Amino acid sequence: MQNIARPAVVIILSAILLRLFVIDSFTVQGDSMAPSILPGNYVFINKLAYRFGNEPRRGDIVVLATPSTQQKHIIKRIIALPKERIIIENGVIRIKNSREDDGRIIEEQYLALSANGQDALDTPAVGITYINLDPQEYFILGDNRQISIDSRVLGPINKWEIKGRVFVALNLTRFKIMMF
């Protein structure tokens, strides 16, 4: 019996430590990340993804703890990085950094076309808005731009608000696993 108990205790303690410090899971509540991640999907995050000198990258899908919304956690995609400038002009998002003087319109292949056939990158905003990111700030958007409450509403997010990077999403109704 003792031969079984010791490995069982090690396995249980390892699982608890892994859950507390490395991996976490969440159930997706809304449509803001559709079509990439759908409501009811389970996402798993790596809590250590941005520790030990690793920085979030453009395109990463992250789970955030934010007091700005009614939800406890939100899931979004990182679009702009620290020290970049975001220009939203008539609904088109442009990112300027030190390498690109005019800014570039972000092209994201994971976005679907909206019902009217326009690129889902278009946002409902009219006019022009400038946002300058501080050294620890990121600009996040949901893939479903038309309904997402993201940095266009909440403003930039700080690195400390990021709980972790999504590395897998499970769709149990379609038995589909998506790796990120």
pLDDT digits (tens, 9 = 90+) for 55-94: 999 999 999 987 666 668 999 999 999 999 998 887 788 8
Single out the catalytic residue among 36, 76, 148, 163.
76
Measured CA to CA in angstroms, residue 13 lies from 18, 19, 49 at distances of 8, 10, 22
Does residue 114 carry a pLDDT above 80?
no
In the residue annotation, 176 being an active-site residue is answered as: no
CA 26, CA 164: separation in Å to the nearest integer?
A: 11
| Torsion angle (degrees, nearest 10) of CA 152, 160, 33, 87 | 30
pLDDT band at 101 (very low <50, low <70, confident <90, very high): low
pLDDT at 117: 43
Closest CA to 89 of 23, 152, 45, 143: 152
What is the percentage of the chain residues whose pLDDT exceeds 90?
A: 50
Q: Across the chain, what does the average pLDDT equal?
A: 84
CA 65, CA 18: separation in Å to the nearest integer?
A: 20
Average pLDDT over residues 137-157: 93
Count the neighbouring beta carbons within 10 Å of the beta carbon of residue 163: 21
In the residue annotation, 96 being an active-site residue is answered as: no
Name the pTM for this structure. Answer: 0.81
CATH topology of domain 25-179: Umud Fragment, subunit A (2.10.109)
Does residue 121 carry a pLDDT above 50?
no
Tell me: the pLDDT tens digits for 25-48? 999 999 999 999 999 999 999 999
pLDDT at 126: 61
All structural domains of the chain with their residue ranges: 25-179
Does residue 139 carry a pLDDT above 50?
yes
pLDDT at 66: 73
pLDDT at 7: 87
CA 136, CA 132: separation in Å to the nearest integer?
A: 11
